[in-house]
Structure formats: structure tokens, C-alpha cells
Amino acid sequence: MWEKEVVLPANQAPVTLKEQLLLWHVPRRLRGRLRQQRRVLLNGHYQPTSTNLQPGDVITMHFEQADFAPESAYVPDDRVVLPVLFETADFLVINKPKGMKSHPNSPGEDGTVMNFVEAYLQPQGQHAYMVHRLDGETTGAMLVGKKPYIVPILNELLREKEIKRTYLAWVTGALTSNAGTIDLPIGEDPVHDRLRQVNGPNARLALTHWQKIHQVYQNTLVRIELETGRTHQIRVHFAAIGHPLIGDALYNPQATPDIGLMLHAASIRVPMPFEGTVRSISAPLPRSFPRNLT
């Protein structure tokens, strides 16, 4: 069982307990279980969720394993200590290196971000929980949960586009505009399971906003914000408009093997669960991502 206790601030809004859980983005199914099984307490006692809250009230939530998917089972691997950019009692943000998978694809596999974070969290008595992933060649800020109850909340924030992720990428060619939006549905590749393509089978809405930062000869550095989160979205979108990412072995036919993918998750803006504040966490550029290209 996991317990989360929150002391309401002095400027607490005049809402009910039910409304507060909704404001915290606790998913509907989880809110129902907490209420039905009386596992959400107000000042140490069960109260109807229609009860009005006051500044200084203490809300305590008790979560059980049955509330979530199977327990985290990543094999701890302490061979690599990943840079931790930000950490709370519930989640952390790491700076993912190039060439590292986000998570294992088979039981017992190690050598991935989740394995290294699992080993990092062991002394705390915590486990690593997947929230979102980055492609193996992509570097930068990546969220990892430390408690199972935080995962559905962060996923809800991702779905509602409350969590903002900003990327930097070097693309080929000289972009003629200073900014733009790529609005092209992305679906499956009917030939290669690993790939995606614009207007492929089962295509879904995909929106990518970009802004030109710097241009060197026939290469352009762009800042990117995603409104949707499709697999390989940035890579597919820029390839589709004729400006594939430099070093993209999957979508850039001119990519050379000695240059890795030029894509970096530069920052992530997270509304802090249970707090009502927002934090922006930046990931410094790795050496593999040049500020200038010639």
C-alpha cells in the first residue's frame, strides 16, 4: 500500500473533496475506488466527497496494488548512473544519453533507462515506473515515476497537453519560414513494423509546432513543441516536408552512419501534482549535439 498526504495551502480554493481530486487529475476510476472503499480521508477521518474543503485541511489517500497495472519489475542495473535533473517524492526527470533504450522489450533485459533508474531508486525503497519514452538516439529530459499512483496522473496531464515538452533538432535544408505548424496525420508503415508514415494505415491526428532558431548553410536548428505524441512524430513530420533530421537513419536517406540523430528533449514543463505550481526542467545539450553545423 502507498500513502499520499497533502496539506492544503492557505489560499485553498473553496471546492469539495470530489472537485479537488478532479483538480489533481486523479483519474475517474481511481477516484471511484478511493471513495467506494473509503481510502481517502479528510483530517484523519472518512468524509463524503461532497464535503467542502478548508485551508490547512489534510487529505490522505491510500492506494493499493490492485488499483494499478502489475508491479514494476525492471531488473536493477547499476552500471550507469544517469544524471538526475529534478526529483520529488513521486517522480524524477533524468537526462537520457544518446544510444540508450528507454525500457526493456523482454523480461530480464537490462541496460535501459528504466533498469538504471530502478537501481538508483533501490536505496530509497522505491521502484521505477514508465511514464513516457524517448527514442534510443534521442537525448534529454525524460520523466520516470517513483510511485504507481503518480503514473496515471502524469499520463492524464500528458493527454490533456498540460505537460509541455520542448525539443531541439537539426534538420536538413534551409527553412524559408521562421515558424510553422506541421498538420499531417501519422499512421503505420505497411511494410516496416518499426516505421511510421504520413497518412499510413490507422493514421491519427499529429500536430508539430516549430520555430527556426539558427541556420548554417543548408542546415537549420529548430525548436519544436508537440501538440500530439505519435511514435516518431518529429522525425516523420520533418521528413514529410522535405527536411529530415540530420543523422536520422530511419527517415533520412542521406544520413551517414558516423552522425547520430540530432534530436534533443531540451525541456519539460510539468504542473506539479498535488501542489498547484508548475516547474520547467531543462536538460543541457550533450556533446553529441553541436550548437553549429557546417
How many helical (H) and strand (E) elements, i.e. helices and strands, does the chain have? 5, 16
Residue 67 appears among annotated catalytic residues: no
- The residues that bridge with 58 in the sheet, in sequence order, are 7
Please tell me the distance from the alpha carbon of residue 111 to that of residue 89, in angstroms, as a whole number.
Answer: 25
Residue 84 contacts by C-beta under 8 Å, 6 or more apart in sequence? 92, 93, 94, 95, 120
Closest CA to 290 of 41, 33, 98, 90: 98
- Written as one string, the DSSP assignment of 174-214 is --SSSEEEEE--EEE-SS-TT-EEET-TT-B--EEEEEEEE
Cell 489534510 locates to: 58
Which of 67, 77, 90, 135 does the annotation list as catalytic?
135
Please tell me the distance from the alpha carbon of residue 78 to that of residue 228, in angstroms, as a whole number.
Answer: 34
Please tell me the distance from the alpha carbon of residue 168 to that of residue 139, in angstroms, as a whole number.
Answer: 10
Q: Active-site residues: which are they? A: 135
